[in-house]
Amino acid sequence: MELGGAARHLAVLDDESSVPDLFWWSESRSLPVLILGGGSNLVIGDDGWDGLVLKVALRGIEHDRSAGRVTLRVGAGESWDELVAWTVGRGWAGIECLSGIPGSVGATPIQNVGAYGQEVADVITAVHVWDRRAKARRVLAADECGFGYRDSIFRRDPHAALVLAVELALRPGGAPTLRYGELARALAGEAAPSLAEVRQRVLELRRGKSMVIDPDDPNRRSAGSFFTNPVVQPAVAEAVVELAVREGIVDDAARVPRFATDDGRVKIPAAWLIEASGLRKGWREGAVGISSRHALALVHHGGGSTAELLAFARRVRERVRERFGVELRPEPILAGAQW
């Protein structure tokens, strides 16, 4: 987002053997540690980080093919989208719909990255971590990671562990995942789209929403989706629908997008709630505003501050709450800043 202050100290972690010393060094000086991946899902306060920023640069990809699947072990510092392209090129299915997402492999389990009908939790078999409290290396099975919608134990307790590597299980020769409506419609003319075709179409869809990194895009200073999609009780969702019909926001209840979740609740797209509250794409207040291509992305136009961005985000939240009684929550990690 090109916002935020400086780090007091910075270390680049490119060797696992350095981990104990780096944490000892920071703890002995009572310095907080901020673990940094690609920085694409991070909002940093204007005063910066008064401690140690640990930039994860652990590299390496190992793979083993057996029992009809390919198991990968990938260093946390590898580029996520480069990994997706590499696996698609080999015909290994499972993460093709997660194309174009910026950031590092180690960051993906933290918020259980997902898009276009896939989540990384669908293919993760294990996460290798440094347990900061036990001061030991551990391997957590997928069911120990507490994955949920844009959530995990790593996100709920950010000081517990440092992700070192991620294990993924992919399907060699497998068919692409086409469960997401927008993507399926975009590929409707293809009888049996390949993984490469699905990747290309996902990139096109993301580019149309300014959701890929492009230095020439006026919406480029963004953390992607700024809010998670609210997951509410059925009664709350029904109240949203009734209000939208009563006030003429939609002419038919079916036009309010909503999706049932496995736990019996209902997910309502935050982008729809924002626009239905009267906040249009491209709305701007000074140096910050809403992307001109996607209502869920907040952008910095240059010359602003993190304080301005968060104040604007809170105004968006209040507008949705006042209109629909639904609470929006930020998706990016906040460092040195308070929501």
Please write the tens of the pLDDT for every residue from 172-203.
999 999 999 999 999 988 889 999 999 999 99
Under CATH, which number does the domain 7-56 receive? 3.30.43.10
Positive or negative, the Cα torsion across 190, 195, 196, 199?
positive
pLDDT tens figures, 109-148: 999 999 999 999 999 999 999 999 999 999 999 999 999 9
For residue 279, what pLDDT is reported?
Answer: 97
Known catalytic membership, residue 27? no
CA-only gyration radius of the chain, Å: 21
Q: Report which of 326, 203, 336, 188 is spatially closest to residue 265, judged by C-alpha positions.
A: 326
Q: Cα(168)–Cα(94) distance, rounded to whole angstroms? A: 9
Residue 212's SS3 state is coil
Question: Structural domain boundaries of the chain?
Answer: 7-56, 61-208, 222-335
Known catalytic membership, residue 66? no
For residue 226, what pLDDT is reported?
Answer: 97
For residue 241, what pLDDT is reported?
Answer: 98
The partner residues of 69 in beta bridges, in order of sequence, read 66
- Of 150, 206, 258, 317, which one is the catalytic site residue? 150
pLDDT tens digit at each of 339 positions of the chain: 999 999 999 999 999 999 999 999 999 999 999 999 999 999 999 999 999 999 999 999 999 999 889 999 999 999 999 999 999 999 999 999 999 999 999 999 999 999 999 999 999 999 999 999 999 999 999 999 999 998 999 999 999 999 999 999 999 999 999 999 999 999 988 889 999 999 999 999 999 999 998 999 999 999 999 999 999 999 999 999 999 999 999 999 999 999 999 899 999 999 999 999 999 999 999 999 999 999 999 999 999 999 999 999 999 999 999 999 999 999 999 999 999
For residue 190, what pLDDT is reported?
Answer: 81
Angle between helices 234-246 and 306-324 (to 10 degrees): 80
For residue 319, what pLDDT is reported?
Answer: 98
Q: Report which of 226, 238, 240 is spatially closest to residue 316, judged by C-alpha positions.
A: 226
* Class of domain 61-208 as given by CATH: alpha beta
Q: Cα(120)–Cα(252) distance, rounded to whole angstroms? A: 35
For residue 189, what pLDDT is reported?
Answer: 80
The DSSP output letter for 21 is H
Instruction: State how beta strands 7-13 and 49-56 pair.
Output: parallel
Instruction: Count Cβ atoms below 10 Å from residue 213 Cβ, excluding itself.
Output: 14
For residue 67, what pLDDT is reported?
Answer: 86
Query: Which helix (H) or strand (E) is 161 found in, with range?
Result: strand 161-172
- 208: tokens are 């149309």
- Of 78, 96, 119, 331, which one is the catalytic site residue? 331
310 vs 16, 44, 305, CA distance in Å?
Answer: 35, 11, 9
Centroid of chain to Cα 86: 20
- 105: tokens are 């492999």
151 vs 121, 154, 328, 329, CA distance in Å?
Answer: 10, 8, 15, 12
Query: Residue for token digits 């789209």?
Result: 193
Q: Report which of 254, 261, 241, 252 is spatially closest to residue 326, judged by C-alpha positions.
A: 241
Helices (H), 123-210: 153-156, 181-186, 195-208
Positive or negative, the Cα torsion across 151, 154, 158, 164?
negative
- Of 104, 152, 222, 225, which one is the catalytic site residue? 225
Contact predicate 94/123, CB 8 Å: yes
For residue 10, what pLDDT is reported?
Answer: 97
Largest CA distance in the chain: 62
Task: Match domain 222-335 to its CATH number in 3.30.465.10, 3.90.78.10, 3.40.50.720, 1.10.645.10.
Answer: 3.90.78.10
Helices (H), 194-298: 195-208, 234-246, 270-276
Known catalytic membership, residue 150? yes
Q: Cα(329)–Cα(226) distance, rounded to whole angstroms? A: 8
Q: Cα(304)–Cα(281) distance, rounded to whole angstroms? A: 19
